[in-house]
Structure formats: C-alpha cells, structure tokens
Structure 1
Amino acid sequence: MKIRFPLLGLFIFKGFGVARRSVHGGWGRTLTAVLLSVGVVVGAVGIPAVSPAVAAEPSGASSGPTVSKPSDGAAEVLAVAEARRSGKPVDVEALKGESSDVVAQPDGRLLATTYVQPKRVRKAGRGWVDVDPALAVLASGAVAPKAATSDIEFSGGGSGQPLVRMSRAGKELKLTWPKPLPKPVLEGDTAEYRSILPDVDLKLTASAAGFSQVLVVHTPEAARNPELDALQLGLQSDGLEVRQEADGSLKAVDPVGGGTVFQAPVPVMWDSSKPAGAASGGAAKSALSKSATDPAADAAAGADGTVPGEGARMTRLKVGLPKGGMVLTPDQGMLDDPSTVYPVMIDPAWYTPNASGWAGVSRTYPNQTYWKFTYTSTYVHDWGVGYCGDTSRCAPTDVKRAFFQIPSGAFVGKQILSAEFGTYESHSYSCSARPVELWNTSYIDSSLTWNKQNAAGFWSRHLQDINTAKGWSSELFQNGH
C-alpha cells in the first residue's frame, strides 16, 4: 500500500508518537509523503507494518478533525464572530503558519490543522504563498526555488557565484565548488551540472525546507579519479558556527542564541544495487514499463538516482571541517569493490530544522534508518507499509512500518473536543481490504530502526483499526484512487 500525507488536520497526545501498521500478512501498501496533517489532540504518530490506515481517530472522537473552543484571543474572537455572521468558515490569519491553520467554524468552534511539512511560506510584498520548490532563473543568473522556507540559490554556472547560498533569519551559509561550473540543466526542482569531473555529474535538488546535493559517479573508471579521494568544498557561514555532532550529522548554530539554523544528516553514499532476490529480466522490464503509467513505481525504486533505491548498498562519508571548508571523503573500499553497482551516488544535504518528522522501518534491514522515508532528509516521496508483494520493487517478504511525529505545543491549555489523523494511500498490490492499525508510540527521531521500535514499551496504546485497500489500475489512478 502507498499512502500520501493528506492536507488534513491531525493532533496527537503530547509526549507520544503515532504509528501505523498492517496485520495478517496483507499485501504491501505505499505511503506518499506529500503533506501529512492533524486535527487537534497533541503528540506524535507512527505506523506499524502490514497495511497502513488512511485515517484514524482515538476512540470516542467525532467523525471530523479536531476542534477546540475559542480562546480569549482577539483574532479568534473576531474570526468566530464573522464565521457565525456569514455561516462560513473563516481563517484566523494571525494564527496561520508555515505548517498550520486555525479556522473559525460557524458553530463557534475552532478547527486547527497541523501539517508534517511546510505548506506555505511568507514572501515580502505577497504574504503567504504555497510552497513551490520548482527552480527558476533569477536576474542575477542564479537558480532558485520559487517558494521555500529558506532563501536558497544555486549557481547558474561559471565561477562568479557560490554553488549554494542558503539563508534564513539573517544567517547565511555558502558552499563553493573548487572549479568553474557548467551551466545547469533544470528540470522541476533539480539543477544538474553535467560532467563536473569526467563521467561525474552533480545534482542539486530543492525542497520545501532545504536542498540535497548528489554527486553521480557513473563508472568505476570515474571513481578512480584522484579528485574523488577527498572532495573539498568551500564553506562560509555568516554569523553561524558549523560543527559536527557525535552521530556524524552537521549543524550550523547561532553562537549567540544557541539555536540550530541549518542542519545536515550524516552524509552518505550508495550504489545502484537492487534488493536481494528481487525480480529481474522480464519481470523487471514489466515493472519498468508499468512505471510509465504508475508514478508510484518510479518513486519506490528511487529511479531518478537522487535517493537510494530499495536494496542499495549504503555507507557513511567521512567529513572534515577545516577552516573555511568542508571535506567529504568517500569510502574507497566501496568504490573499488567489484560487487558495487554503478552509478554510485554521494550525498550531503542541508535543511532548516522542523519540529515534526516521519520515519520508516524495514524488517529486512533492521538496523537501517529511513528518516523522512529515505537516507536523505530533504527527500519526500513514497514509503511502503505492510508485506512486500512485488519483488521487482522491494525485498521479498519484507515488512515495513511508518511513523509520524507532529508538534503539539500550540494545544497546551486548550480544550480538545476531537482529533483526526490522515494520510493518502496512493497504491496497493491488492484490491482486498486488509486491517491497518494506528498506535501511539514513544517519540521518534532520525535514529529510529526496526530493532529500536521493537524495544519493550515503545508501542504504548492501540488507537484504531480500519480495513482498507486501493489496488492500482490506470482507471483507479485516473479517478484519484
């Protein structure tokens, strides 16, 4: 089954996570991590494995998203008065944020919705605009996403601009490439700098909250280039201190306030290996031909090369932070290994911190983390939940679970009347409905793995089961199922 984060509202109990899992060995479903939201209740949410639920409410909750009584705030009072007068919902503009809405209802209540990812950003002179990571060329020649939570620019080629400039709240981070860059080829949210080294391309991909940087090493011969032994990038920070954490991740910290302005997960590299025992030959060709009409197929396989595919071999990069620079040292053992499947991708990424999060776990890879559903924290796409029923796209007999966590501080002191959790299921290998469970769990973070979620006490409270399945077909896809 595949599930997509819906533009709904979701609230969780403070101090808890929420998880979804399938039971009874049902065929897998896929979750599409687009935008997950919550109605009002307070905490975090996750999903166990075998079929995910599309929406769930705690026992006794009403059928709609969470609603609370209006507070004494002037903005809420005015919005409620207008909603009652007009008989229509009214946004409380003063409470609107990048990842949240509050809407006054005609019956006098307030409906709050919190999203896992930013939905909008505030632009000077334009107010709130929808997030749009699609790239456009600026008057300066640089390339930038149309609307993101940070001010991000990629180089338009040459040597007169940094490779990446990223700023937020008056703080700035710059990465520079040691040689002049070719003019990038733009496609959607990605700028591709071809042949920056012989048979090596560089892809920069913008997201709502940051960017990923992937070096694509196409052949073993390209990997033997001495310039790949240690990739030296310039790193300049305006008013920030860049440091490496104990877990290998990077943070750009405001030395005065102590807050993290930008952060990067542990830089990694991966190859193009497929799952052990996965279908090949005719079955694989069939799956590839299907992906032309089933967009979920490409996503699940990491077909664009910017994220690890199912079964890819992955290892960490060594990172050095000399003054004014950053040195990434690929694993030469992996590059030289005859079993390594090329192309090989090398990926550092930066993004702005977000209090919400989501993660996947896999029984086949019990010690592997899948924070934000992949190795790279800026990537957002499909994640399977349940039992693997298609060996061309996942490891045979694998079981996956999905977890979500949403900040709840805004609901402290509020009277919560009901709550709703929602995701979109975008694909299922079976049209037969299977049970999907929704649970409260412990907090999640980027270190979550299958083994960690099996720890005693992690699964704290079973919330609800639903039976659901939406098997894929061209007709169903065209109808939005």
Structure 2
Amino acid sequence: MLISLAAVPSWAQEPTPPPTQSPAQTETPQPSGARSGDKVLDAAKSKAAKSGKRVEIPERNTETTTLYANPDGKTLRLELSTQPVRVRSADGKGFTPIDTTLVEESGAIKPKAIAGSLALSAGQDRTLLESQEANATARITTPSVLAKPTLKGNTATYADAYGKGRDLLVTARPTGFQQRIIIRERPTGPLSFRVPVDLPAGVSFKKNAAGRPTIVGKDGKTLTEVRPTLMQDAKAADANAPLDAGKRGKAAVALADDDKTLVFTPDAAFLADPATTYPVTVTAAASDWWESHTGKWADGGMDTWINDVDAQDSWYQLGQTQIVAGKSYASNVAKRWRGYLQFPDIPDTFAGSRVENADLHLWNYQSNDCGQYEGSGITARRITSDWDEVDLQWYAQPSVTSLGAETEYGAYSEDCTGVAGNLIHSLDEIVQAWIDGSTNYGIQLTSGDESEVRNWRRYTSEDAGGCTTAPLEDCKFELHPPILTVDVELPAPPLLDDVFMFTDTQVTTMPEYEEALAMSGYVPEEPKPLVITEQLANKIASQRDGEVHTAGTDDLPPVEVDPGDDTEGTTPRVTGVEPADGAKDVPLDAPVKVTFSEAVADAIVTIKDAGGTEVAGTSVYDDTRMVLTFTPAQAWKPGTTYSAEVSDAINSWEIPINPYAWSFTTLIQSAGHWTFDEGDGRTAADSAISPL
C-alpha cells in the first residue's frame, strides 16, 4: 500500500490495492529550553525572564500548591504546604487565602476563610459548633448554656462552660477545629466532662470488644479508635518551655449509653499531684478524628512526632504546635524523638520533570545547643510505607530508605542565641523519586546518630500558624509551618511533524515516530542474487545429473549472531535495612525490615547472636514484595550485637541477589543512671533506656 501523494518509482508501479494517503502527525522531542506549547506557562516564563523576578501563575495554583515561573525563563518553582493555604471562592473563579481568625458574623462566630465551614456559638445557647467539609457536617453541643466567648486570633474561649474555673476552648484550623477543656484551678475531687457529638453522615460511634469508643463507617469497620486524650499542665502545654518541662497525663474517654456522648475523665492523681502546675489542658474532640474519612483532605498533608518513652502514640500529639526530632537526656532518662511529615502529592502534570532543586524549610526555635554544626545533625529520609498522624506508634513505624537521605547540622535556639531560624534540608533525590513514580509517603526526621547523648531540635508544626502567604519562600525569615519548595524543568513537549509513509501492508494503528520514519523510506526490495560457492554449485549440478548429494550444515554460510540486548533485567539489590547497619539501642521487640530495589521471592534472612547461634523467627513480604519483615520468635537479648544477612532472593527473571550483611546492637535492659542533668556540660557514653 502506498501512503503518500509523492511520486513512486516506475518499477514500483505494480498492481496494488487502491492507494491511501495518510500524513501521520507524529511527535518528536523538542530541544530543551524551547517553548512548552502551554500559552499560560510560556507567557509566565517570558515575563519572568524579562523582569528578572519570579512570576506567579495563579491559573495553575491549588489549595496547597503555588506555581511560579523562575527568572531563568526555563524552570518552574512549586511551593507546597502540609495544609491548605487558600480556599476556592464561592463562585469558583479563584481563591481566597486561608485566614482562621475568628470574627462574629450574622449571630455566629466564624473563621474568615477555611476549607469547608465552621460556625461557633456566639453565646446563650448549647450548640457549641457546627463543622462542615465536603457535605459532611458534625455538631457538638454542651450540657449547659454557653456564655459569650472571648475571641483571640483563631481561638474562642467560653468561660466556666463546665462550671466555675473550667473553660471550653475551640481552635479554628484550616480544615476543621480542635476542642480543649481548661481546668484553671485544682479541683477538690474527681471530674468528668460530657461532650455530645453528632458525627457526619456515614460515620458513627460504637463500642469495641473492650468497651472503648470507636468511630466506624457504614460497613461497621473501625476507622478510628477514640483513645484516652492528652492532659498537660501549664509548663508542658507551653511549646516554648524547655523540652520535657512539666507533666503529661491522660484523660479516659468513654461512650455514654446514647452512643453519641463522649465522657472525658481526667486522671484524678494527676490533678491532685502537687507537682502539677495549673491551669491544666485536657484535649477533647477534634475534626482530625474523622476528617480523613469524610472530607477531601484525606489526600492532604500532615505532620506529627513520637518518642520511645512517654510519647509513643501520635494520637496525643494531634493539634500540637511543635515537631521534635533527635536525642535528649534529662532527669536520668534518655529519649529518641522522631518527626514525621507528609506534603500533598506533586501534580501528575509534572511527571517526567527534572528536579533542579528541592528544599524542605523548617522553623527551628529550640535546640539542645546552637551552631552551624551541632552534634550529628538531623537526618531526613524518604518514607516507603503508609502511616497516619492519628495512629502512628513507636513500635509500628513505617519503613524508610537512606537513598537520597540528607543531614542538616545547623541548630537555632532562643535559649542560647536569642533567635529562632530557618533550617533547610536538600531533598533533590527524594522529590525526584516521587516525580518518577515512587509513592509519596513523606519524610522522617531523626538524629543523625541516635546513640548520641544529646542532639535534638524543635520545629514549628502546621498548627503553629505563622507566615503562610505566597510566595511561601519569603516566609523563611519568620515563624512558619513546614514548607517544601521544588524547582523543576518540565520535559520537552512533543513537536508535531508530518511524516508520509509508504507501506505494502494495511495500516490499522498509528505507528510510533521511529516506525513512521522507517516506512517513509520504504522501497520494495528487488530479489537479491543468491551467492554460492563453486563447490556447492558443482554438487548441485551433479544432483541435476542424477547423482545424489545431501547438503549438511557445514555447507551453509555461518550465521552471524547479534549479541543483542540483555532483556532479562538487572540484579536485584538491597536499598535499605532497619535497624540500620551499626545501629545501637535497638528496641528488644523491634522487627527487622529489608527493602529491595524490585519485587523478589525466596529471600532468606539469617540473624545470629554474638555466639553464632541463629535466631528463629518468621519472614513476611508486604503487598509489593519489595519489603521483607523478619519478626524474631522471642525478644532480642539486651545489649547484644547481632549479625544479619539476606540472601537467595531472586527477581521475576530469577536473577539472584548478591548477599547483603549488616549488624546492629540491642538496647541494654536496665536504665543507665548518671549524676548530671541537661545542661551540666559533661559528656558520657549513651545507654539505652527502657520505655516507661
């Protein structure tokens, strides 16, 4: 078949089916730096190049991301926040910046602009609030009539809502609210607080087998377990107080017989303890409990932290204004702190882009010391499995990889320098992995060396408020929540080209560019003369004359073998292990995780103690078969160095892995005791502390 209007050589004019013309419009790569074909982006790039300044592209913004054209006229700047910084206007024709400041409007107290809606009582009724997001409405009432609230920023305080000296606080957040009860004076006896909650449609309260309240979906499956909530005395509630200052406790939570009223009962011993400094803050209901199951922010960002002693459950950190990471030692107790952050996914439109620069900006306001290089620094690693800020547990943390990990050694503190400051983690490789298709599970922050005695940082969280105005990078000189800035160069857009193809077969599908080019030069081949040796010609002649001769393979010309491509994949490899090689103070019930570069099978994890005795246990793959978890049959021995090796793993091509070996040391069972305290100035070798 001829697919062209061009003249065809006379020797090709054989009878053929009716000719068809098909100028195939194909795509060819465009040189780097050329125009993108997107008029909006091209106009912004041109303007940025001419002005020498970054130019915002409002048409490409979302609730959590802001896009700019950079002054180089080639790259784009993407700024991401863990929470929305703007909300789409009611008419759908633009955005309004998030502003959680509470004001009185039409007989109710409302934030100026948040995702969804929130209406608080203006006083003289019992409906504390109504919160709506994505057509899901929650309502909280009170046992008694509320007084007119006192407003301060994004907080409304209802004095004596639960009796004299027992106030009710509601804080507006970009996507919802958080409720707290303030006990201003030491009570003379036990207390309890009833909080009636009408959950959004589709979810409800239900008691589990242990009698504890849970939030379940329409199918009856548990979405959130409502665990005891955090209690803090005045010192502990002050995010600017020294790390570990004050006392933390828990308030029990029960579900009343009406299946919608939560009853909070603060620990009576905590309230009566003379060491407890008043006022005491009791965390009550929060939209975070159901928000990820009912609203559009299920795919949004989040941040939290945990430690291995007295904050092992992230549930108690909900709504806190700090993120803590590192290693502390005070009052004869050593603690490991780990921070977790997740930003919204980078839009799919950036697929194939090359990351020029990616920076995580954290506002560091307190550290164990100050300087450009403090201790082993704080290391940021890419998280490789799922987690949630509502139920992150110390002994069930997500897996991480050291590929692209980066350590920032700087430290600010208002205690020693009088100023806080912005610290930057360079995450080029991590963000590139997300753009290239790796799932964005977020970032883990830990001490560079968790065996160090003291090396910690406190950062402001998404709930700390501060600067969130665009451009967010300008916020790095003042208090701000976590910010991720990414400079990318988009892939060269395809260039349309007309290619006229010649073919002797019916075209049923549009060919690729290279195939079209090949067909554009198609010429029917003339028969090629057969070249044979004189010896073979004589044998053929003799056969023609009646002589029988059998041609063997030796009579045929040798076949040239093209080495070709090795299409059977590459050797699988280990990309990360946990505990890490050389890790110390490993918990006695910690599992061993091995992360591979691709899905594998038949992997064998062998672990031996210092005496060479092999440890019994079970190994289980995750759904991707890229993560293998080994769980020992019995707890690790205290203070023991174990050698580990993974071997025999094969990929889908049955290519075996090269054995990978490492070692780690478990924590010492008994707590270490020192005679000095935080800030003493002396140093000592670290010793693991069993969780209290």
TM-score range (shorter-chain normalised) is 0.5 to 0.7
Most deviating of 76-85 and 343-352: 76-85
Q: Structure 1 pair 115/310, CA: closer, same or farther in 2 (3 Å)?
A: farther
Q: Which residue of 2 aligns with 1:450?
A: 394
Where structure 1 has 5 or more consecutive residues not aligned to the other structure, the ranges are 1-67, 276-296
Q: Structure 1 pair 122/340, CA: closer, same or farther in 2 (3 Å)?
A: farther
Query: Which structure 2 residues correspond to residues 319-334 of structure 1 after superposition, within 5 A?
Result: 319-320=255-256, 322=258, 325-330=260-265
1:161-219 per-residue CA deviation (whole Å, 9 max, x = no partner) reads: 62101112333222222321111122222111111223321111112222111122345
SS in 2 for 1:76: helix
SS in 2 for 1:94: helix
SS in 1 for 2:239: helix
Counterpart Cα distance in 1 of 2:306 and 2:34: 38
Tell me which of 414, 418, 424 is aligned to 2:363: 424
Q: Structure 1 pair 218/298, CA: closer, same or farther in 2 (3 Å)?
A: closer
Q: Which letter does structure 1 place at the counterpart of 2:301? A: S
Tell me which of 329, 349, 368 is aligned to 2:312: 368
CA contact (8 A) 1:267 1:349 kept: no
Counterpart Cα distance in 1 of 2:177 and 2:225: 10
Q: Structure 1 pair 245/96, CA: closer, same or farther in 2 (3 Å)?
A: farther
Q: Structure 1 pair 376/264, CA: closer, same or farther in 2 (3 Å)?
A: farther
Q: Structure 1 pair 80/336, CA: closer, same or farther in 2 (3 Å)?
A: closer
Counterpart Cα distance in 1 of 2:269 and 2:417: 44
Q: Structure 1 pair 465/234, CA: closer, same or farther in 2 (3 Å)?
A: closer
Counterpart Cα distance in 2 of 1:431 and 1:201: 39
Q: CA RMSD in A?
A: 4.2
Residue 382 (str. 1) matches residue 322 (str. 2): yes
Residue 464 (str. 1) matches residue 406 (str. 2): yes
Q: Which residue of 2 aligns with 1:96?
A: 61
State the shift of 1:334 in Å: 5.7
Q: Structure 1 pair 344/187, CA: closer, same or farther in 2 (3 Å)?
A: closer
Q: Which letter does structure 2 place at the counterpart of 1:450? A: W
Counterpart Cα distance in 2 of 1:249 and 1:420: 41
Q: Structure 1 pair 72/356, CA: closer, same or farther in 2 (3 Å)?
A: farther
Residue 131 (str. 1) matches residue 68 (str. 2): no
Residue 177 (str. 1) matches residue 113 (str. 2): no
Q: Which letter does structure 1 place at the counterpart of 2:313? A: T
Query: Which structure 2 residues correspond to residues 304-343 of structure 1 after superposition, within 5 A?
Result: 311-320=247-256, 322=258, 325-330=260-265, 341=276, 343=280
Counterpart Cα distance in 2 of 1:148 and 1:361: 28
SS in 1 for 2:143: coil
State the shift of 1:245 in Å: 9.6
Q: Which residue of 1 aligns with 2:239?
A: 299
Q: Which residue of 1 aligns with 2:469?
A: none
Tell me which of 107, 111, 119 is aligned to 2:85: 119
State the shift of 1:100 in Å: 0.7
Query: Which structure 2 residues correspond to residues 54-453 of structure 1 after superposition, within 5 A?
Result: 75-84=40-49, 86-106=51-71, 107-124=73-90, 127-140=94-107, 142-159=108-125, 162-196=127-161, 197-219=163-185, 221=187, 224=190, 228=192, 231-233=194-196, 235=198, 237=200, 239-243=201-205, 266=227, 268-272=229-233, 298-301=238-241, 311-320=247-256, 322=258, 325-330=260-265, 341=276, 343=280, 345-351=282-288, 352-353=291-292, 354=297, 355-365=300-310, 368-370=312-314, 375-379=316-320, 381-388=321-328, 396-411=333-348, 413-418=351-356, 419-432=358-371, 433-434=373-374, 435-436=376-377, 437-443=379-385, 444-446=387-389, 447-453=391-397
Q: Structure 1 pair 316/461, CA: closer, same or farther in 2 (3 Å)?
A: farther
Counterpart Cα distance in 2 of 1:403 and 1:183: 38
State the shift of 1:420 in Å: 2.4
Q: Which letter does structure 2 place at the counterpart of 1:130? A: P
Q: Which letter does structure 1 place at the counterpart of 2:353? A: Q
Q: Which has the higher contact order (CA 8 A, sep 6+)?
A: 1
Q: Which letter does structure 2 place at the counterpart of 1:268? A: T
Counterpart Cα distance in 2 of 1:169 and 1:70: 39
CA contact (8 A) 1:211 1:378 kept: no
Q: Which letter does structure 1 place at the counterpart of 2:155? A: T
- Return the index of the structure with the highest Cα Rg: 2
Q: Which letter does structure 2 place at the counterpart of 1:414? A: G
1:121-168 per-residue CA deviation (whole Å, 9 max, x = no partner) reads: 23447943332222111131x212222223111111112x62101112
CA contact (8 A) 1:210 1:378 kept: no
Counterpart Cα distance in 2 of 1:407 and 1:70: 28
CA contact (8 A) 2:381 2:402 kept: yes
Q: Structure 1 pair 358/180, CA: closer, same or farther in 2 (3 Å)?
A: same
CA contact (8 A) 1:388 1:398 kept: yes
CA contact (8 A) 1:150 1:168 kept: yes
State the shift of 1:315 in Å: 4.6
Where structure 2 has 5 or more consecutive residues not aligned to the other structure, the ranges are 1-32, 422-476, 479-692
State the shift of 1:409 in Å: 5.0
Counterpart Cα distance in 2 of 1:224 and 1:70: 71
Counterpart Cα distance in 1 of 2:88 and 2:332: 42
Q: Structure 1 pair 474/328, CA: closer, same or farther in 2 (3 Å)?
A: same
State the shift of 1:87 in Å: 4.6
CA contact (8 A) 1:164 1:176 kept: yes
Q: How many residues are matched?
A: 367
Q: Structure 1 pair 162/309, CA: closer, same or farther in 2 (3 Å)?
A: farther
State the shift of 1:252 in Å: 8.9
CA contact (8 A) 1:428 1:469 kept: yes
CA contact (8 A) 2:143 2:194 kept: no
Counterpart Cα distance in 2 of 1:471 and 1:185: 32
1:62-106 per-residue CA deviation (whole Å, 9 max, x = no partner) reads: xxxxxx998665543443354445554332223212211111234
Counterpart Cα distance in 2 of 1:395 and 1:164: 44
State the shift of 1:469 in Å: 2.3
**Could you state the TM-score of these two structures normalised by the residue count of structure 1?**
0.63
Q: Which residue of 1 aligns with 2:444?
A: none
State the shift of 1:340 in Å: 8.9
CA contact (8 A) 1:131 1:208 kept: yes
SS in 2 for 1:423: strand
1:426-459 per-residue CA deviation (whole Å, 9 max, x = no partner) reads: 2334233223222223343233333334x8x545
1:272-309 per-residue CA deviation (whole Å, 9 max, x = no partner) reads: 2978xxxxxxxxxxxxxxxxxxxxx9324499xxxx97
Q: Structure 1 pair 71/268, CA: closer, same or farther in 2 (3 Å)?
A: farther
Counterpart Cα distance in 1 of 2:206 and 2:271: 27
SS in 1 for 2:248: coil
CA contact (8 A) 2:36 2:42 kept: yes
CA contact (8 A) 2:170 2:177 kept: yes
CA contact (8 A) 2:250 2:266 kept: no
Counterpart Cα distance in 2 of 1:245 and 1:109: 54
Q: Structure 1 pair 99/467, CA: closer, same or farther in 2 (3 Å)?
A: same
Q: Structure 1 pair 220/407, CA: closer, same or farther in 2 (3 Å)?
A: same
